[in-house]
Each structure stands twice: as C-alpha cells, then as structure tokens.
Amino acid sequence: MYEFLTGPMVWISFGIFFIGLIVRGVRYIRGLDWKLDRVTYGENISYGVRGAVRSILFWLFPYGTRSWRKNPWFTLWVFLMHFGILITPIFLLGHNILLKEKLGISLWTLPEAVADTMTVVVIVSVVFLILRRIALPEVRIITNWYDYVLLLIAVSPFLTGFLAYHRVADYYFWLMAHIISGHVLLIAVPLTKLSHFLLFFMTRAQLGMDYGIKRGGMKSKGMAW
C-alpha cells in the first residue's frame, strides 16, 4: 500500500492536479466575452497589462487593498494559512527525501523546527477561519457544509503530518492518513473551489485589465474618473 501511494498514486494525483488546472484555465479563458468592447481593449492594451499586474500585486500582499485593511485579523490568518500551505509541503525535508529517492532531485529544505511551526500556524489558521464562519452571522449565512469540507481537506495533510512526525499513538496510521489526505488535496484542487489556487490570478488579472483599460482609455480621450 505504501509503495503504491508513494509511487504510481503520486503520478496520478499530480496528473489530475496539473491537467485539471490547465482545463480550468482554458475553460475560464474561453468563457470570456472577447467581443465585448474589443475596440477599446485593442487600443489600450498597455493600460490593461499594467492594470492586471497592479491588481494581482495589491491583492497578493497583506493589507495591500482596502478590503484587506478593513479586516486585519481575518487578513492575517488568511495569509498565514496560504503561505504555510504553499511553502511547507514544497520545502519539507521528508518530502524532499522522497523526491530525491524517486526522481534524483532535491530542493532547499526548511529547518524542521520552522516547518513544524508553520504546520501549527496552518492548523490554527484553519481553526480560526472555521470559528469565524460559525460566529459571525454575515459569514455563517453564506456558509454550508461544502465550505467546511474544503477547509478540512486543506488542513488534513498538515494535521496528520504533524501527528505522524511527533509519533502520536500509531505512527503508521498517521503516516498513511497523511499520504492519503495529501492525494485528496491535490485531486480536490482542480475539481472544487480550491481551484482559486489558479483562478485567483486569472480573475484578478481580468478585473485589473478591465479597470485599467477603461480608465486608461478615458484618460487618453481627455476624460477622467
């Protein structure tokens, strides 16, 4: 079982992950109405590129937008969670040992104490976001079981990995749970709302481009907002 999960299943999971995200991206692009305002867009494409980059960068950093600044604690935990989810698995020592064994390559690795701390931060961040959804009426009303399931899918590899690393109770059980939950997360990304892993950049670029082109186009015609 272990050999299958760390061998063929890895290729299956990553295959679904990458192919699924490509399909998601292509479907998003094909779904855009390219005929809308095509003259304006064609004449002011440079404003669009700048607008897209600006939109992504302002939303990519904590407190870069008014929305982030209006909810400082929410922003802090969201960024800590996403930072940990993205960085920890890539630069974890154990993952890079497997990468070296399977493909003969290895990346720079985090000190184990740092990786352990980041794992705890991810777990605490998800707990905070779950409690926030339960406690705040304006958030609770738009939350359903699906949102909680996605949060659990996201945090499960970190929780099980933490328990396995610290050898809590049955090490083999938590190790297998960690590997399986990692596969579930990879497969779920392109198939669920977790696809914002990619679509965040595409939607922010689209909105920024639209705003930049129209604002730039108006300014180029002697008009200002």
- In the chain, DSSP assigns E strands to none
Residue 220 pLDDT level (bands cut at 50, 70, 90): very low
Domain holding 64, by residue range, is: 2-213
CATH of the domain at 37: 1.20.950
Mean pLDDT, the chain, rounded, equals 83
Number of domains in the chain: 1
187 found inside a domain: yes
The pLDDT score that the predictor gives to residue 65 is 76
For the stretch 56-97, pLDDT in tens is 777 777 777 777 788 888 888 888 889 999 899 888 888 888
What pLDDT was estimated at residue 223?
A: 35
Asked if the structure places residue 218 within a domain, the reply is: no
Q: What 8-state DSSP symbol labels residue 194?
A: G
pLDDT attached to residue 35: 57
**Residue 92, Cβ neighbours under 10 Å: how many?**
22
Check residue 99 and give left, alpha or beta (phi > 0: left; psi -120 to 50: alpha). Answer: alpha
Q: Is the pLDDT of residue 106 over 90?
A: no
Mean pLDDT, range 192-202, rounded to an integer: 87
Does residue 121 lie in a domain region? yes
- Give the C-alpha separation, 33 to 206, whole Å: 11
Q: What is the pLDDT of residue 15?
A: 95
Q: What is the pLDDT of residue 146?
A: 92
Contact partners, residue 197, CB within 8 Å, separation at least 6: 21, 189
Do the domain assignments include residue 219?
no
Is residue 65 included in any domain, yes or no? yes
Does residue 51 sit within a domain? yes
Left if phi > 0, otherwise alpha if psi is -120 to 50, otherwise beta: which for 109? beta
Question: Is residue 225 a part of any domain in this protein?
Answer: no
123-134 tens-digit pLDDT: 999 999 999 999
- pLDDT surpasses 70 at 196: yes
So what's the pLDDT on residue 218? 43
Domain assignment present for residue 222? The answer is: no
Contacts by 109-115, CB closer than 8 A, 24 or more apart: 115/88, 115/91
- For the segment 16-27, the average pLDDT, to the nearest whole number, is 93
Q: Residue 183 pLDDT > 90, yes or no? A: yes
Strand (E) or helix (H) holding 99: helix 93-103
